């Protein structure tokens, strides 16, 4: 992307209208271009058959239609997981993953290049933070996979902002991207098809609650006591459980929405029966769901994934206590589909 050219995916409809008005274009061109990008998934001005040649030239010369350059793409042996590593114009690495299920196609997208949270078992956390992505760069990850799926007569059904980065540290750009993809006049993906995952940034959760969006919220918990959680997630030292959990309860009360807790099961660390019982005590009475997933291994963390039996035992304790718990299958282990793993490989 030419640094002098604005990325078209960074524009909302009003921004696009303002530019086209400045080019003395009629108002209906906004709809044609917007439809082309978000409904018909066009990726370059030359693909529009309903635009005059002079407007296509202006778009080509003055706007960028690609900020993310694919530099590596891996597909799992079962064909159900596709991971792409992108490079930004300033040389940053960004990852996004497509996970195919029987009745849905879920994207795991990034909100930052790198991450400042430093979660010890996460490859992105081990990389450190580079910068926030723009709203357009977040949107572009989705459009890339939407175009890929279109060639298979398929489409995106769900989006989780759970890739590289802490979405709530890039709050405005992340929600701007979701709003653009949710726009009924364009990509039109329902708000409840989105999930934002946070490590627990309390001020952002409070802001999100007040906005009463229909977007789903997931909190990465991974431990139910401060000692262990602070070891795994350094952010817990700033926002400890005795402050975080009441805010989670407030979120549920304000929005009336179910909250999801994420728990990466690490063998002998947080997958024991006592860990499950601690979690039961912590979240009892909340409208919540717990997703547990055996750890995706990373080079810089010595912990191992729990076994299938231990995962079942952990989930059983929660379910028996009336706390819905689902064991999520690890996806794309053979292609290092965990957050930051492919970027880390290229960096090394």
Options 108, 119, 288, 339, the catalytic residue:
339
DSSP code of residue 324: -
Options 77, 80, 95, 166, the catalytic residue:
95
Query: Closest by alpha carbon to 210, among 161, 175, 241, 162?
Result: 175
Question: What is the sign of the dihedral through the CA atoms of 151, 196, 85 and 295?
Answer: negative
Query: Closest by alpha carbon to 2, among 49, 54, 59, 67?
Result: 67
Contacts of 117 (CB under 8 A, 6+ apart): 125, 166, 169, 199, 233, 234, 235
- Asked about 95 being catalytic, the answer comes back as yes
- Locate the DSSP E strands across the chain: 69-75, 81-87, 93-100, 105-109, 112-114, 129-132, 158-161, 194-198, 216-220, 259-265, 288-294, 325-327
Query: Closest by alpha carbon to 72, among 297, 343, 319, 260?
Result: 343
- Tokens encoding 99: 């996970």
> What's the half-sphere exposure (Cβ side, CA atoms, 13 Å) at 177?
28
DSSP code of residue 225: S
Q: Which residues are designated catalytic?
A: 95, 339
């Amino acid at each position: 992307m030419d640094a002098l050219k604005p990325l078209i995916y960074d524009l909302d409809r009003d921004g696009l209208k303002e530019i086209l008005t400045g080019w003395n274009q009629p108002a209906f061109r906004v709809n044609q271009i917007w439809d082309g990008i978000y409904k018909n998934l066009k990726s370059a001005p030359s693909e529009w058959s309903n635009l005059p040649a002079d407007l296509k030239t202006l778009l080509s010369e003055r706007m960028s239609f690609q900020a993310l350059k694919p530099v590596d793409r891996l597909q799992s042996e079962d064909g159900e997981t596709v991971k792409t590593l992108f490079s930004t114009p300033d040389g940053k690495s960004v990852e996004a993953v497509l996970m195919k299920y029987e009745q849905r196609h879920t994207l795991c997208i990034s909100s930052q290049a790198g991450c400042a949270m430093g979660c010890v078992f996460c490859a992105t956390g081990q990389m450190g933070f580079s910068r926030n992505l723009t709203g357009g760069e977040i949107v572009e990850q989705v459009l890339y996979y939407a175009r890929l799926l279109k060639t298979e007569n398929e489409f995106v059904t769900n989006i989780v902002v759970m890739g590289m980065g802490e979405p709530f540290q890039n709050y405005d750009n992340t929600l701007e991207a979701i709003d653009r993809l949710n726009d009924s006049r364009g990509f039109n993906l329902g708000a409840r098809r989105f999930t934002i995952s946070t490590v627990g940034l309390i001020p952002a959760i409070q802001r999100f609650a007040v906005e009463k969006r229909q977007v789903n919220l997931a909190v990465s918990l991974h431990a139910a006591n401060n000692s262990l959680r602070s070891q795994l997630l350094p952010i817990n030292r700033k926002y400890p459980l005795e402050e975080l959990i009441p805010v989670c309860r407030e979120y549920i009360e304000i929005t009336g929405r179910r909250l999801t807790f994420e728990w990466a099961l690490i063998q002998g660390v947080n997958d024991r029966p006592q860990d499950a019982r601690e979690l039961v005590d912590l979240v009892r009475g909340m409208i919540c769901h717990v997703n547990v997933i055996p750890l995706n291994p990373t080079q810089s963390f010595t912990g191992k994934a729990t076994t299938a039996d231990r995962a079942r035992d952990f989930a059983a304790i929660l379910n028996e206590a009336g706390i819905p718990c689902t064991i999520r299958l690890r996806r794309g282990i053979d292609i290092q589909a965990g957050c930051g793993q492919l970027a880390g490989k290229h960096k090394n």
